Structure 1
Amino acid sequence: MKENNIELSLVIACYNEEEIIEETLPRLKNFLDLTNIKYELIIIDDKSKDRTVDLVNKIIKDHKNTKFVVHKNNTGRGGVIKEGINLASGKYVGFIDIDLEVPEHYIFPAIILLRKKNDVVIARRFYKIKPSALLRWFTGTGYVALMRNIIKLKFTDTEAGFKFFNREKILPVLKLTENNHWFWDTEIVAMSYFNKLKIAELPVVFIRREDKTSTVKLFSDTYKYFISLMKFRKRLKKLGYI
């Protein structure tokens, strides 16, 4: 597929996904094939310790529009997404968590928003009311309060694993991000905002997978993000953004 024919480059970060990837990766590809979006998949495995690499190779063996990168060392989620964006050749580039807790059908309205001259599209998650979602909602609400007070960012949800960009517009901003882990999501939204990119929020229903163990650690995660926010605030002040 010629570079100028690709509308969407979709980055998939993988780390120990053997429990779900045989279901979610084909599901994602099948959805994209049903749309009018000309796309490529960029799958990056961040040194998984399970059978993820073997399973991905099996799934994509007949996929002509797929790049698969396997890391020898673990770089972190933010580092993986940055690498994928730099490898992309589409007009638009985005990423979606492979657990598809933000379902794949939201990709199409995200592309519509980019076609309407938005530079960045971020998910704003709404949770079905059930016990398994309450902890994540509580943690996210607390983080938003911290973020608004510390770095004056107005958005409701910066942490969803679902973000899409105009590639030409996001590449200069990408160079301003430093974190290679989960805080990268806040960095990329903040740097996009302070550099005057047009950001649209897309309401999505977050569907918690009951077959997946939550990695949320309420107190330790909140503390880590608080420290990251304070360091980031100093950097934003130094750069003259706040």
Structure 2
Amino acid sequence: MDKEIVVVDDASTDGTTDILKRLEAVHPDVSFYYKEKNRGKGHTLKLGFEHTTGDYVIVQDADLEYDPNDYHKLIRALDEHNAQVIYGSRFSGSYEDMSTLHYFGNKLLTLITNVFFGVMLTDMETCYKLMPGDFVRNVNIKSERFDFEPEITAKILKSGLKIREVPISYRGRTHSEGKKITWRDGIHALFTLIKYRFID
């Protein structure tokens, strides 16, 4: 299977850039893009999508809360479930160190997604989304922060693509370890779901 790794650095200052430049120089399947200004997850993913060339794209956060060893589960599910989009579900798999706020926030936003769009997802907010390359390169992503997840989910479902889920593993970080998402992001996610279901 041919593969490519597209890395986007959202204006880090910890030396990550130097490491990525060295990796790009010796690995032809790695491409690296640096942003001079931090713009958030949604903006970063949009830039990354524009530089992909593959038939399918998997999103991977750099903090490794999600285990890349689960990739094969998502890829295999394309054929097993006859679906175009595969989500990795933490709640049908295993998870550790998820705060109570994040747990119930994820559950609530997933429930609202199911009600709005008539689906039966267990983890709308998951990072692990395997999507068609043509779709992600052409979809108009407007969210710049963590409201990317509800926006892309809404646009996938409104496009007619089918989402299936597979269980994955997850080990969350704490705020002291660098976890940036807050309750305010949950509010933004809720309004994003409302916007893309009833307005846009």
Is 1:84 aligned to residue 48 of structure 2? yes
The yes-or-no answer on 1:69 pairing with 2:33 is yes
| SS of residue paired to 2:87 | strand
Q: How does 1:175-214 map to 2 (within 5 A)?
A: 175=140, 177-209=141-173, 212-214=177-179
State the 1:153 CA deviation: 5.2
**Cα offset, 1:187, TM superposition:** 1.4
Q: Deviations over 1:36-91 (max 9, x none)?
A: x3211111111123322123223444212111111123332112212222211112
Structure 1 residue matching 2:188: 3-state secondary structure:
helix
> Secondary structure in 2 aligned to 1:229?
helix
Alignment CA distance shift 1:48-1:188 (3 Å): same
| Residue 215 of structure 1, aligned match among 180, 184, 187 | 180
Tell me, yes or no, if structure 1 residue 105 matches structure 2 residue 69.
Answer: yes
Calculate the TM-score normalised by the size of structure 1: 0.70
Identity between Structure 1 and Structure 2 (%)? 22
Relative contact order, higher structure (CA 8 A, sep 6+): 2
* Equivalent residue runs for 1:12-161 within 5 Å: 37-115=1-79, 117-126=82-91, 132-135=97-100, 136-149=102-115, 154-161=120-127
Q: SS state of the match for residue 222, structure 1?
A: helix
Contact 1:114–1:165 at 8 Å: present in 2 too?
Answer: no
SS of equivalent to 1:39: coil
Aligned to 1:28: none
Structure 1 residues 115 and 152 mapped into 2: Cα distance closer, same or farther (>3 Å)? closer
Q: Secondary structure at the match of 1:106?
A: helix
Letter in 2 for 1:119: Q
Structure-1 separation of matches of 2:52 and 2:7: 11
Contact 2:146/2:181, CA 8 A, preserved across alignment: no
One of 180, 205, 229 as aligned partner of 2:193:
229
Q: Is the 8 A contact 1:151 1:229 kept in 2?
A: no
Is contact 1:39-1:90 (8 Å) kept? Answer: yes
Q: Unaligned 5+ residue runs, structure 1?
A: 1-36, 237-242
User: Quick check: 1:119–1:169 contact (8 Å CA) kept in 2?
Assistant: no
Q: Give RMSD over aligned pairs.
A: 2.6
Asked if structure 2 preserves the Cα contact closer than 8 Å seen for 1:153 and 1:190, the reply is no
Q: Which amino acid aligns with 1:167?
A: G
Q: Is the 8 A contact 1:114 1:166 kept in 2?
A: no
User: TM (normalized to structure 2)?
Assistant: 0.82
> How far 1:217 moved relative to its partner?
2.5
Q: Does 1:167 align with 2:133?
A: yes
Aligned 8 A contact 1:94 1:165 in 2: yes
- Using the alignment, how far apart are the partners of 1:169 and 1:216 within structure 2? 26
Larger radius of gyration: 1
Structure 2 residue runs without a partner (length 5+): none
Alpha-carbon distance change, 110 to 149 in structure 1, aligned in 2, over 3 angstroms: closer
